């Protein structure tokens, strides 16, 4: 019982005082970086090109493991997250006449979403500090 946290949340009588009376109140940290570069070039009155590259990364910690909208009932079940996305686009336009043009486009988009809970193998030591034995 030494590893079980004491109640820190008042419950209404209808909900019962014997359950859901602890709320993990650790702070959430969230860091985000993003940027975009765009280049436009006119080769002539008939040829133009555009290129764009965007990226976004975010990382941090959430006391909730993501399966609920609120914090988990016990510490040790939060999640570290590390997400990254990038997009690129290229476009070339050639004007033949006032009513004829040709456009070529290429686009790339990719994303990586990583979430590690406190009970996943890399973080098992952190869970042990909370008194949770993983087998």
Interval 31-71: pLDDT, tens? 999 999 999 999 999 999 999 999 999 998 877 655 554 54
Is there a contact between 94 and 46 (Cβ–Cβ < 8 Å)? yes
Q: Answer yes or no: is 10 within a domain.
A: no
CA distances from 108 to 33, 51, 86, 88, 120 (A): 20, 12, 8, 5, 32
Q: Is 4 within the bounds of a domain? A: no
In the predicted structure, residue 94 carries a pLDDT above the cut 50: yes
- Structural domain boundaries enclosing 117: 29-129
Strand ordering across the sheet containing 100-117: 29-42, 47-62, 79-97, 100-117
Domain presence at residue 20: no
Whether 85 is in a domain gets the answer yes
Residue 3 maps to a domain: no
Residue 18 included in any domain: no
Mean pLDDT of the region 87-113: 95
Assign 12 a pLDDT band (cuts: 50, 70, 90): low
| 76 close to 22: Cβ distance less than 8 angstroms | no
How many structural domains does the chain have? 1
> 132 with 92: CB under 8 angstroms?
no
Taking phi first (over 0 means left), then psi (-120 to 50 degrees means alpha), and beta for anything else, what does residue 63 get?
A: alpha
pLDDT of residue 18: 57
CB-count exposure of residue 118 (10 Å: 0-12, 13-18, 19+): buried
């Amino acid at each position: 019982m030494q590893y079980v946290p004491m109640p820190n949340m008042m419950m209404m009588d209808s909900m019962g005082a014997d359950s859901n009376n602890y709320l993990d109140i650790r702070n959430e940290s969230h860091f985000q970086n993003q940027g975009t570069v765009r280049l436009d070039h006119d080769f002539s009155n008939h040829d133009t090109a555009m290129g764009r590259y965007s990226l976004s990364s975010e990382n941090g910690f959430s006391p909730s493991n993501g399966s609920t909208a609120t914090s988990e009932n016990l510490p040790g079940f939060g999640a570290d997250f590390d997400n990254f996305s990038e997009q690129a686009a290229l476009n070339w336009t050639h004007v033949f006449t006032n009513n004829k043009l040709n456009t070529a486009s290429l686009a790339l988009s990719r994303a990586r979403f990583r979430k590690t809970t406190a009970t996943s193998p890399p973080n098992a030591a952190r869970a042990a500090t909370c008194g949770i034995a993983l087998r």
